[in-house]
Amino acid sequence: MKKIDIPLEELEMMNYDDIAHIILEAKGDKMKIADLFKEVCKLLKLDEGTYESHIADFFELLSTDKRFIMLENGYWDLKIKHNKGMESFEDEEDDDEDIIIEEEETQEEGDTFDDENKATDDDVDDDDLSDLVIVDDIEDEAN
């Protein structure tokens, strides 16, 4: 593994995933997540307690960062190293966003849908409200 010559002050300003990216680039090979986070903690001079309390967050961070890929047996690596032959797949995925699928109209004859004729909960006949009685709380307390 190449030596990482980044001052501690600069490392402290970086996110864990950025430091992990630097470590994987320097090492040039895949690493288990526990070993990778131990290296991050070692570079940042963090104690064992920090390692134990943040390893789950580190896993979630790598899982959501598109620069990393989880391999077999718990190994992690940089996704760019494993993308050979996948570039065209990703390009096709991006192109799909631009495609608009037009829905076919499947209404049969005589089957009309009109917003004006659509019944909603707001459509209430005045006759339905004629049986309601309004009770005033003040009058109720006086009796």
For the stretch 121-131, pLDDT in tens is: 555 556 677 77
With 0.85 as the threshold, say if the pTM is over it.
Answer: no
Class of 8-82 in CATH: mainly alpha
Q: Which amino acid is at 58?
A: F
* Domain ranges for the chain: 8-82
For the record, the structure tokens of 130 come out as 């004629």
CA distances from residue 105 to 9, 37, 109, 116 in whole angstroms, order as listed:
63, 55, 11, 20
User: With 50 as the cut, is the pLDDT of residue 85 above it?
Assistant: yes
